[in-house]
Amino acid sequence: MEFNALRTFVEVVRQNGFSAAAKVIFTTQSSVSKVIKQLEHEIGAPLFNRIGHRITLTAVGDVVYRRGLRILAERDDLMVELGDLQGLKRGTLRLGISPINTSTLFAPVFALYRNQYPAIDIKLVEQGGEQLREQVLAGNVDVAVALLPVPDDFEWQEVTREPLVAVLPPEHPLIKSKAINLTDLQHEPFILFETGYSISRVILDACKRRGLQPTIAARSNQTEFVVALAMSGLGVGFLPRLIAEHRAVTYVLLAEPDTEWHLVMIWRKGAYLSNAARAWLELAHSYHRT
């Protein structure tokens, strides 16, 4: 079984289609179909159920996909470890960052890292925390930001801990409160980040514990847009206090149990961490500890 064939199959599953996968790996749909047919012939069983234009994994396909992710990740680990024989004279750092916290928390660390290791190529993947966890498990990212708790598949290093705040317009009747909880906001529409962002999961899980079903007025993957909508009075937005403090917003502390923004850097348990990734973790730890 060739690595390229396995990688093509995995991409078809990720993109949920042959044509979409072809665009990602820069080939044609017919080439992708040919590779999948050859792989199915080699395995001796179909990998997909084909229903019109839709595809779903067969039981065999599900096994090949799960095992394939591990095989490809191990292969990438091997290549990185071999490359590390050259030390930090060259290499690549594949880093997963959430757009919520990039500039405030990590821009200074980027500058320090670039200054100390100018030959290391930094490849950024900017997605929500839930999506970044999948990228780490798939071996597409070396280290990524996430919110605790994380599954046992990961090892982690703390970055910072912050309470969440509710972003409200300055004329809002709750804005003068010292602190509020979600019950105080039960009649307010919520402005959340897109599905896949851990901060939204934290808020919705807390609502479920309270027995609340919030009205979601809007979702976005851009911090500035969430802030602008909240400040315009459309609804209440939620940010870590540290992030809110760096923006011209009015907010009140969210005194809600189990909603602390506990930010960490994660990597796949048992994975080989490149010298470039280890250097990043060490630098980030030193910077945020001071």
Whether the predicted pLDDT of 197 surpasses 60: yes
pTM over 0.85: no
Give the CATH number of the domain where residue 188 resides: 3.40.190.10
* Residue 214 · residue 186 · CB < 8 Å: yes
The C-alpha angle with vertex 215 and arms to 214 and 217, in degrees rounded to 5, equals: 135
Whether the predicted pLDDT of 153 surpasses 80: yes
What range defines the domain where residue 124 resides?
90-159+263-289
Give the CATH number of the domain where residue 30 resides: 1.10.10.10
Report CA 95 to chain centroid distance, whole Å. Answer: 10
CA dist., res. 142 & res. 39, Å (int): 28
Q: Is residue 51 part of a domain?
A: yes
* Residue 168 · residue 191 · CB < 8 Å: no
What are the Cα distances from residue 62, in Å, to 33, 161, 235, 241, 245?
18, 38, 42, 42, 46
CA dist., res. 180 & res. 82, Å (int): 53
CA dist., res. 128 & res. 148, Å (int): 14
135/18 same-domain check: no
Helix (H, G, I), strand (E, B) or coil at 269: coil
Band the pLDDT of 290: cuts 50, 70, 90. Answer: low
| Residue-wise pLDDT tens digits, 67-105 | 888 888 888 777 777 666 556 666 789 999 988 866 778
Report CA 71 to chain centroid distance, whole Å. Answer: 22
Q: Is residue 72 part of a domain?
A: no
* Residue 68 · residue 9 · CB < 8 Å: yes
User: Which pair of structure tokens corresponds to residue 232?
Assistant: 């315009």
134/197 same-domain check: no
pLDDT at 22: 87
User: Which pair of structure tokens corresponds to residue 249?
Assistant: 């917003």
Mean of the per-residue pLDDT values for the chain? 89
Band the pLDDT of 50: cuts 50, 70, 90. Answer: confident
Pairing of strands 91-97, 120-126: parallel
234/185 same-domain check: yes
Share of the chain above pLDDT 90, in %: 51
Q: Is residue 82 part of a domain?
A: no
205/233 same-domain check: yes
| Residue-wise pLDDT tens digits, 223-253 | 999 999 999 999 999 999 988 988 889 999 9
User: Which pair of structure tokens corresponds to residue 96?
Assistant: 């997963």
